[in-house]
Structure 1
Amino acid sequence: MSGIAGWIDRDRDLTRGGPVTAAVTAMAERLRRGGHGVRHWSVPSAVLCHSADALDRAGAQPAVTTADGRPPAAVVFDGTLDNAARLRSELGLRGGPTGGADAEVVLHGYLRWGGEVARRLDGLFAFALWDERTRELVLCRDRFGVKPLSYLPLPGGGALFSSEVAALAGHPLADPVLDAEGLCSVLAQVRPPGRAALRGLREVRPGHLVRCSPTGLVEQRYWGLEARPHTEDLATTIETARGLLEEAVARQTGPAGGTPSVLLSGGLDSSTLSAVTAARTGTGPRTFTVSFGSAATVPDAPYAQAVVDHLGSDHQDVLVDPASLTDPVTLGAALDAKDFPSPFGDKNLTPYLFYRSVAQHTPVALSGEAADAVFGGLISEDERAATEHRTFPWIERARAFGLENGIGNGLFDQRMMRDIDLAGFCAERYREARDEVSHLPGAPAEDRRAREIDYFHMTRLYEQAVNHSERLAAAAGLHVRFPFSDHRLFSYLYNVPWRMKSFDGHDKSLLRAVARDLLPSIVLDRPKVPFPITYHPGYKQSLADRLRRVLDDRDAPVRPLLDLAAARRVTDDPRMLDRGGWLGRADTEMVLQLDAWLRARSVRLAL
């Protein structure tokens, strides 16, 4: 969870100080990730910055080499390599103060294998490498894009890059503008591949490497989901899935001997992860569960306790005080961490506060996020069997509740949404994603549809799950690792037919079979419930009060986008926040987050 940033400019000398140095310093200071000191490395055409976290080795980054009289090459790296030891041995790296650093492995791997190094890296990572020999910047993200990395192309083959949009938006060469496409990206919570919400800003796509050279930008894919025949029977499939999950846990917990920590909700996913971890180490892991104390009941609590009792975990309930959810400092910190507005409100705030507390007890924890996408837990039988599809499943579900424009958009002006063509934008993103899916020749329609839905969840909804958790945890000072995001497990289960993932008619029956001998039946057979939210009256009153302040502020940047009459109905009658359970609150949360994000990033609307 380091922060990385940099500036490539072929027309300026970036080592000359003055305004250039001030711009670099300001960009580095905006990094929220890391927080344990910033180091720089520069040559006339390139500056690389690294904001260290608590686990980084002092002085390890930026990693630089000038061996054999070659021009220097340097890299800044965020993440963890699960196979660093093997790669160090293969590269012949020995000892030294930075000899074990993952960044140095990437640097020497690139010098040996070029861009092919990306295929050899296991783990969650993002890196930026400057090769003075070719005067080329190389940007790369892990296979699922869990670690963030954005960039802004500049004239003449230059670029700004950073882990965080905030660091880019504040640079003098950036002009943070939200146009019609960008606003659609925010409201739909889906972006065109490789594009960020702000105009001109790009994201390194998951499983991709970007080269920025004097001749321009080149994007190269090094990994992706591919359709392959599945030839194993059900018993073998269960055994293989179990083995792949065990291997993923082993890679992400390191050598046996320590006591791993697991974020335990009491759901099937985190419970299975806790049980697999216990089986590997021979003892119950340290487990942490969120609690609101007497202020609200957490439906998962009895199931989490059943897992703790069954495994003998060293367990701690982490109390989140509902009053802290209205603290302006917490609100700002959570928005900065996500770096993007969303309608999820205290579904951002509660995890952030939870992770912050967990980080006081352990630097690293495992999360069960992504299991839903991998094991088919986000698709219903009706969705799989439906014959007509116009958009993503989660938008179709929202429309079933009467939310034509998706979750969180009920207070925006209907004419404005027609003018920016939100519906057309969503339809185009859907076609774009559907066209990416590879199918097996002659596959039945139901298998094709199930594969498409799995692909949508893995590549488009992922950001609302795994990436959501990673960014909030990073800002809170906690390294979260996601064994269900192991690409071997992902690739295998992507090709398991739907009838095996739900072989007994229940959701995620394959995962239940994997954990059948590891967990008590009360957990194995339990129904799924959403992440807990607070229904504390003080929180809802705070939402209404904050919305009223936005409506009363004629300079509020979000105000021109709103249906003011609809918004006033909420402030006049806060009971409207309870429409559809959490969905009524989502409308207000989206307005408040968008307004705060526009202010914090000094974003100009250009619709």
Structure 2
Amino acid sequence: MCGITGWVSFDRELRAEDASLRAMTETMACRGPDDRGVWAEGPAALGHRRLAIIDLPGGRQPMTAATPEGTVALVYSGETYNFTELRRELTGRGHRFTSDSDTEVVLRGYLEWGDALAERLNGMYAFALWDGRRQRLVMVRDRMGIKPFYYSPTADGVLFGSEPKAILANPLAPRRVRLDGLRELFTFVKTPGHAVWDGLREVEPGTVVTVDRQGIRTRVYWELETRPHTDDRDTTVATVRTLLDDIVRRQLVADVPRCTLLSGGLDSSALTALAALQLGERGERVRSFAVDFAGQADNFVPDELRGTPDAPFVHDVARLARTDHQDIVLDAQALADPEVRATVVRARDLPMGFGDMDASLYLLFKAVRGHSTVALSGESADEVFGGYLQFFDEEARNAEAFPWLVRFGRHFGDDTAVLRPELTRSLDLEGYVADSYRTAVAGVRRLDGESDVEWRMRRMSHLHLTRFVRALLDRKDRMSMAVGLEVRVPFCDHRLVEYVYNAPWALKSFDGREKTLLREATADVLPKSVYDRVKSPYPSTQDPKYGLALQDHAKELLSRPSHPVFDLVDRERLRRLAHRDTPSGTQAARRGLEKTLDLAVWMDMYSPELVLDE
């Protein structure tokens, strides 16, 4: 997995900038607790922190290859799941390997195919190559955006890193956020390429970015394309199963302990069962982990979002698949701990305001890391197979808006409710979201003869797979890498994504339920309870003590009237939330407290320069 960073400055000799490079590299110690390395030559400098997964002694980075025309150096984060086949092909072409790592396969693959290597990779990755032969930097990100990757142009080159914090550690990078950055924080639309911090950009998913003395160029090597789907129902279900079997087999490869994250929902249950089946053939058992909250099973209250607690379904799967299972039970005190909040904000570099759902994910991953280094997650199945409630909500289907925002508004309220009124007016979030939506749907192609219903559902699927999922993948990556845990996402395999995306909606929901294709493709390995279960989102604590703790923290913040957070947050609105009688009575009230506390921690931690008068 790992963390990468670097600096290209065509007007400098970067061997003289060792201190800055090491500072950038060390910001990602959590991403790579096993090893560190730096390399510099002429105008290029690369830094790496390693989490060792495959070929533990042989995969050190930066990795270099000497050629008669110059050195090629690589820093790589992620996993290439088809590296065995690529290695075989490269060996046949005359390449000789000194390690068993997938990193060396990527390096040798670049020497053979140049940046066309990207099209050949199956995996999750973000990597950068300094090509001394051509005096250029090549940055590549995986198709779905599973691994984060950022860059910041400078006057004579570029800074880059797995996370913004690596770039912000360089004196050339300003810690500045303008109105457009704040708009991203309060809209949940994840504009491609946008990185919130002024001057920073994302290497977009499925893209190669090249930097040389002539400037910066981008090339899209993959995007979600509309194609006819000609397979019938039985063939489609069988193809989904064949793909899943292959994907799980590839993603179980590791030289360190593996496990699955099990929620008791269809997605994670299917993966756990398939992993148990495959490992069982080799005489191994799967370890599985689930998050739960103290008292949740006994005191659970169903609502429109969550009709059932997870625990009974988790245990049904664990029994059937014969996993070595452990529940990670969290209490309100742990979820509201200010140190946990600070760790989450630092991991994300931003105040996202996801509250207990971020805290619980971080604490789950922290506990899992004590037993395993690699985990398989069911993340992204809802986007791929159509599992969210908005896919079955007529208002969300027909709205000329991001469909998830229609439902979010109903259940979670307005993120801007705590902001100063004049800031809300300046942000004009309604206009920002409308513009973003128009841009997002403009590139979706309609098939000839496609019905209006199928066209609406195609656009919904496309929006979820190119906007919504990226925010969740970023959250997953930051929380897991904060503890040095590699989380793999089998449902993001581009072959599966392409195939299911182009299956008509009538086929994806042929029984009138969510994720029909996945359910039928894995029916033979699922307990009946999970097969019949209705979609339930990631769990959130119902303990009123959590809301009371948020109020106490907000009151403490209110006792510091000069805190810079009040440049953004309306003090009186926060006071009302902090003193209301039922702090957990509405999700909107709780989210307002969580967002404010995250903003305050972020401002203390990063001291951002806020430009609010554009």
TM-score (norm 2): 0.92
> Aligned equivalents of 1:383 and 1:573: distance in 2?
32
Task: Give distance in 2, aligned partners of 1:189 and 1:341.
Answer: 12
- Aligned counterpart in structure 2 of residue 566 of structure 1, from 560, 569, 573: 573
Q: Distance in 2 between matches of 1:37 and 1:541?
A: 42
Distance change >3 Å, CA 259–CA 561, structure 1 → 2: closer
| 1:226-260 deviation line (CA, Å, top 9, x unaligned) | 001111111111111111111111111139x9985
Go from structure 1 to structure 2 and tell me whether the alpha carbon gap of 1:381 and 1:15 turns closer, same or farther (over 3 Å shift).
closer
> What is residue 539 of structure 1 aligned with on the other side?
546
Structure 2 counterpart SS, 1:410:
helix
3-state secondary structure, aligned to 1:209: strand
- Inter-CA distance 308–11: structure 2 relative to 1 (3 Å threshold): same
1:567 deviation in Å?
1.1
Match of 2:181 in 1: 182
Q: 1:274 is matched with which residue: 272, 275, 284? A: 272
Cα distance between partner residues in 1 of 2:46 and 2:536: 44
**Residues 1:443 and 2:450 aligned together:** yes
Match of 1:36 among 15, 34, 52: 34
Alignment match of 2:345 (pick from 326, 335, 357): 335
**1:592 corresponds to:** 597
| Cα distance, 1:583 vs structure 2 | 3.4
How many Å apart are 1:557 and its aligned residue?
A: 2.6
**In structure 2, how many angstroms separate the alpha carbons of the residues matched to 1:86 and 1:386?**
43
After superposition, the Cα gap between the structure-2 partners of 1:61 and 1:184, relative to the gap in structure 1 and judged at 3 Å, is same
Contact persistence 2:50–2:60 (CA under 8 A): no
Task: Report Cα offsets for 1:30-80 as digits up to 9, x if no partner.
Answer: 11311233210001201100011243546620010113x221110100011
The one-letter amino acid of 1:7's match is W
Structure 1 range deviating more: 28-37 or 379-388: 379-388
Between the aligned partners of 1:190 and 1:346, the Cα distance in structure 2 is 21
Q: Distance in 2 between matches of 1:230 and 1:253?
A: 30
Say whether residues 1:143 and 2:143 are aligned partners: yes
Are residues 517 and 41 of structure 1, via their aligned partners in 2, closer, same or farther at CA, if it must alter by over 3 Å? Answer: same
Once superposed, which parts of structure 1, at least 4 consecutive aligned residues long, lie more than 6 Å away?
Answer: none
What residue identity is the alignment partner of 1:37? D
Q: 1:401 to 1:281 in 2, by over 3 A?
A: closer
- Which 10-residue stretch deviates more, 314-323 or 355-364? 314-323
Counterpart in 2 of 1:492?
Answer: 499
Query: Following superposition of structure 1 onto structure 2, how do residues 171-570 of structure 1 map, counting pairs within 5 Å?
Result: 171-254=170-253, 260-282=258-280, 285-294=286-295, 299-378=309-388, 380=390, 383=393, 388-401=398-411, 403=413, 406=414, 408-570=415-577
Is the counterpart of residue 123 in structure 1 residue 130 in structure 2?
A: no
Q: Deviations over 1:166-198 (max 9, x none)?
A: 121232101121111110011112243212101
Could you say which residue in structure 1 is the equivalent of 2:303? none
Contact 1:545 1:571 in 2 (8 A): yes
Q: Which residue among 598, 601, 604 is the counterpart of 2:606?
A: 601
Q: Look up the SS of the partner of 2:186 in the other structure.
A: helix
Q: Distance in 2 between matches of 1:162 and 1:264?
A: 31
Judge conservation of contact 1:322–1:539 (CA < 8 Å) in 2.
Answer: yes
Q: CA deviation at 1:370?
A: 0.7
Say if 1:258 and 1:572 are closer, same or farther in 2 by CA, change over 3 A.
closer
Q: Deviations over 1:377-414 (max 9, x none)?
A: 125465468675232011112334583xx4x3321133
More off after superposition, 199-208 vs 509-518: 509-518
Report the 3-state secondary structure (helix = DSSP H, G, I; strand = E; otherwise coil) of the residue aligned with 1:266: coil
Give the superposition deviation at 1:357: 1.1
Instruction: In structure 2, list runs of 5 or more residues that go unmatched.
Output: 301-308
Deviation, 1:106, is 1.6
Secondary structure at the aligned position of 2:419 is classed as: coil
Q: Which moved more, 1:47-56 or 1:75-84?
A: 47-56
Summarize deviations over 1:250-274 as a string: whole Å, max 9, x none. Answer: 111139x998521111111111111
Structure 1 match to 2:132: 132
CA contact (8 A) 1:384 1:449 kept: no
**207-216 or 379-388: bigger deviation:** 379-388
SS in 2 for 1:138: strand
Aligned partners of 2:190 and 2:468 also within 8 Å = no
1 CA distance for matches of 2:155 and 2:8?
Answer: 11
Report what 2:304 is aligned to.
none
Is the contact made by 1:170 and 1:601 (CA closer than 8 Å) also made in structure 2? no
Q: Contact 1:70–1:133 at 8 Å: present in 2 too?
A: yes
CA contact (8 A) 1:169 1:601 kept: no
Pair 583,529 (structure 1): closer, same or farther in 2 beyond 3 Å? farther
With over 3 angstroms needed to count, the CA separation of the structure-2 counterparts of 1:108 and 1:58, relative to structure 1, is closer
Q: Equivalents in 1 of 2:201, 2:500: separation in Å?
A: 30
Cα deviation digits, residues 412-432 of structure 1 (max 9, x gap): 133322212111111111111
**Greater displacement, 416-425 / 223-232:** 416-425
**How far apart are 1:203 and its partner, in Å?**
0.4
Amino acid at match of 2:454: D
Cross-structure match for 2:61 = 61
- Number of the residue aligned with 2:49: 51
The alpha-carbon deviation at position 596 of structure 1 amounts to 1.7
Q: 1:10 maps to what in 2?
A: 10
Contact 2:398 2:456 in 1 (8 A): no
Rate the CA distance shift 1:415–1:489 in 2: closer, same or farther, 3 A.
same
State the 1:368 CA deviation.
Answer: 0.8
TM-score (norm 1): 0.93
Q: What whole-Å deviation, never above 9, does each CA across 1:517-562 have from its counterpart, x for those lacking one?
A: 2112111001222222223343222211222233332332321222
Give me the whole-angstrom Cα distance separating, in 2, the residues matched to 1:330 and 1:475.
Answer: 11
Letter in 2 for 1:51: R
Q: 1:272 to 1:230 in 2, by over 3 A?
A: same
Q: CA deviation at 1:155?
A: 1.1
1:466-498 CA deviation, whole Å, 9 max, x = no partner?
Answer: 332222111112111111111100000000111
**Contact 1:373–1:454 (8 Å) recurs in 2:** yes
**What is the identity, as a one-letter code, of the residue corresponding to 2:263?**
S
CA distance in 1 between partners of 2:201 and 2:396 (Å): 35
Structure 2 CA distance, aligned partners of 1:591 and 1:530? 24
How many residues are paired up?
A: 594
Contact 1:410 1:587 in 2 (8 A): yes
Aligned to 2:386, the other structure's residue is in SS state coil
Partner in structure 2 of residue 106 of structure 1: 106
Counterpart AA for 1:599: D
**Residue pair 2:353, 2:595 contacting (<8 A) in 1 also:** yes
Moved more, 408-417 or 421-430: 408-417
CA distance in 1, matches of 2:20, 2:256: 43
Once superposed, what is the RMSD of the aligned Cα atoms? 2.1
Aligned residue in 1 for 2:77:
78
- The DSSP-based 3-state class of the residue aligned with 2:197 is coil
Q: Find the aligned partners of 2:397 and 2:270 in 1 and give their Cα distance.
A: 34
> 5+ unaligned residues in a row in structure 1: which ranges?
none
Q: 1:64 is matched by which residue type in structure 2?
A: T
Cα distance change, pair 64–382 in 1 and its aligned pair in 2 (3 A): closer
**Mapped partners of 1:445, 1:46: distance in 2:** 52
Compute the displacement of 1:318 (Å): 2.0
Which amino acid in the other structure matches residue 544 of structure 1? Q
Equivalent residue letter for 1:78: S
Q: Contact 1:150 / 1:161 at 8 angstroms: preserved in 2? A: yes
